[in-house]
Amino acid sequence: MKLFLAAFALLFFLFPSYHFAQDSTKLIGTWELTSYKYTLPDTVITCTGANFTSIKIITPQFFVYVGQTMPTKEFKRAGGGRYMVKGDMLQELMMFSSIQNMLGKTYKYKCAVNGDSWYHSGQINDIFIEEIWKRVE
């Protein structure tokens, strides 16, 4: 019995996405990026969707996104992996990515869902991102 409890406790801590699943329910679904602001060390990039668009799909355990330039609809980037949510913090583990220096890294963001809008901000390498996503029906 002690061995079973120890194994259960170990699994509980090794796979935290199950532990925080109740916090992720507001994010589950399909989202479209409507605007963003990316602050780099030497410049700030803002967009309202006219130059770039992205779709992000979130399931109870995984996420995936793909983005393209507009209006040419040229592929720009894609990625995905596991995630977990605790309170207002989202943590993503990049299991695959078209951007090589993101592979295997974990990124933490502050997030809030208000109706059909998702506000998302945090650090990716040397870029501070602020994104607004809209739920797709």
Q: What is the DSSP letter of 61?
A: S
Domain boundaries, the chain: 16-135
Residue 37 vs residue 22, higher pLDDT = 37
CA atoms of 23 and 17, how far apart (whole Å):
10
Residues 63-107 pLDDT 10s: 999 999 888 888 999 999 999 999 999 999 999 999 998 999 999
Q: Which CATH class is domain 16-135?
A: mainly beta
Is 103 in a helix, a strand, or coil? coil
Report the b/e string of 39-63 with b at 16+ CB within 10 A: eeeeeeeebeeeebbbbbebeeeeb
CA atoms of 133 and 118, how far apart (whole Å):
5
* pTM exceeding 0.85: no
